[in-house]
Structure 1
Amino acid sequence: MPIFIFNKLKGMADRIFEKIKQELKKGAFKKGHYFKYFTLATLGVDKYARLRLVALRNVSEDLKLTFFTDKRSKKVLHIKENNKVSLLFYHHKKLVQLRIEGLAKINNDQFEIKKNWAEVGAESKKDYLTKKAPGTSIKSPENLEYLKEGDFFSIVEIEPFRIEYLKLKKNGHSKIKFDKTDKGWSSEYLVP
């Protein structure tokens, strides 16, 4: 491949990577953004993939993605057993799919937990104050009981090591894989 074509493709991949970072940050902070909610996949203790929708709460400069959960949830157990996770984002207006692989960890920093808990709305706090753990069987939704206070709020951080970008287009889809290296992020075009 001639060097000028290689440089042009590399430049395009770099611009797309910057756009990915911008869109993820918007997802964390802009109400109604398509990346606000994403599918998180973990591996259950029974070795089945477990998928659920979670809300993106923060994206750091180094692309660490954060969401909140109840520390009694199965996803926390799964992450403790195997911290490799997959994430799926889809922007249906721009026809862009992001598939992210990374390593998850539970953030136990009490300062961070208190700071983030203070920012959670009163109605949303109820999600972390159920008397029984998430996924526990109950006779009916009316039987759901809440505690006045609890220590179940948890922060999960995901450090991505691979991002696959897929852009759907009428005149040909495009796909790029980004891998985290010691020197930053490398890119490679893939067959869509």
Structure 2
Amino acid sequence: MKSESRLDLPIEYSKIEDTLISAEKILIRAVDDAKSLFHTPIVSSIKNNQITSRVMVLREFDLKDRKMRFHTDFRASKIHHYEEDSSATVIGYDPEIKIQIKLQGNMSIHYDDETTKLAWDNSTSRSKKCYSVKGGSSKEISNPEEYDIKDFKVEEGYKNFAVLVFHFNSLEFLYLKSSGHRRAIHKWNDEYDSKWLVP
């Protein structure tokens, strides 16, 4: 079978199982590939019946356990969003391979537990640095220079560090092609099911 990218993806999708296989390849690669557009998907939450979205860095993808991992500041507004409503959507698109992947599920928050300790220990000093910013993200300020990170102790940022684990129950795969698009939905409720959708 011919491929159209370094991931060895199909150039057409006639078997629905290939859509899930490709999604797994793309998302696993994206964890460590900063150049992949799926490395920074859009993650959405709901607050007061309004959808709020932000770009986040994908830290882990596990299809078997149906989970994705993201890191955030515990002081961020998204924490409060997910405390009130854990519903979440993660979506990414790469025009080079003409593939969109959308996942829906629920977000769980981890703070100062074994999950955060392991994630923190495996993070680089560069990644840890942003959690030392005083005041927390999105706080309204008058002078941004006061919040530049200058003298700080990297490990002190742990007290502001949180992990979001996204447990997805559906994965929608869309492949765009001039001769005919392909869209498939994979769901995990009581048992796994997959169906083709009208593109």
The answer for the alignment partner of 1:190 in structure 2 is 197
Work out whether residues 98 and 176 of structure 2, in 8 Å CA contact, stay in contact via their aligned partners in 1. yes
Work out whether residues 76 and 137 of structure 2, in 8 Å CA contact, stay in contact via their aligned partners in 1. yes
The more displaced of 162-171 and 106-115 is 106-115
Helix, strand or coil at the partner of 2:29: helix
After TM superposition, give the deviation of residue 145 of structure 1 in Å: 5.3
The answer to whether structure 1 residue 68 and structure 2 residue 71 are counterparts is yes
Helix, strand or coil at the partner of 2:171: strand
After TM superposition, give the deviation of residue 134 of structure 1 in Å: 0.8
The answer for the alignment partner of 2:7 in structure 1 is none
Instruction: State the alpha-carbon separation in 2 of the partners of residues 166 and 99 from structure 1.
Output: 9
Matched to 2:161, the amino acid is: F
Instruction: State the alpha-carbon separation in 1 of the partners of residues 195 and 147 from structure 2.
Output: 49
Which structure 1 residue ranges, 5 or more long, are not aligned?
Answer: 1-9
User: Which structure 1 residue ranges, 4+ long, deviate > 6 Å from structure 2?
Assistant: none
The answer for the alignment partner of 2:10 in structure 1 is none
The answer to whether structure 1 residue 77 and structure 2 residue 80 are counterparts is yes
Q: How many residues were matched structurally?
A: 181
Work out whether residues 131 and 145 of structure 1, in 8 Å CA contact, stay in contact via their aligned partners in 2. no
Matched to 2:194, the amino acid is: S
Which runs of structure 2 are paired with 1:1-192 in the superposition (5 Å)? 12-44=15-47, 46-60=48-62, 61-108=64-111, 110-144=113-147, 146=149, 148=153, 149-150=156-157, 151-183=159-191, 185-192=192-199
Instruction: State the alpha-carbon separation in 1 of the partners of residues 183 and 53 from structure 2.
Output: 23
Matched to 1:122, the amino acid is: S
Instruction: State the alpha-carbon separation in 1 of the partners of residues 58 and 144 from structure 2.
Output: 26
Which structure 2 residue ranges, 5 or more long, are not aligned?
Answer: 1-12
After TM superposition, give the deviation of residue 15 of structure 1 in Å: 1.9
Instruction: State the alpha-carbon separation in 2 of the partners of residues 110 and 100 from structure 1.
Output: 26
Structure 1 length-normalised TM: 0.87
Matched to 2:50, the amino acid is: Y
Instruction: State the alpha-carbon separation in 2 of the partners of residues 21 and 106 from structure 1.
Output: 24
Instruction: State the alpha-carbon separation in 2 of the partners of residues 109 and 12 from structure 1.
Output: 44
Instruction: State the alpha-carbon separation in 2 of the partners of residues 186 and 97 from structure 1.
Output: 20
Work out whether residues 112 and 162 of structure 2, in 8 Å CA contact, stay in contact via their aligned partners in 1. no
Structure 2 length-normalised TM: 0.84
Percent of aligned pairs with the same amino acid: 24
Helix, strand or coil at the partner of 2:164: strand
1:130-184 deviations in Å (ceiling 9; x for gaps):
110111011232120556314011111011111111111111211111111333x
Aligned-residue CA RMSD in angstroms? 1.9
After TM superposition, give the deviation of residue 79 of structure 1 in Å: 0.6
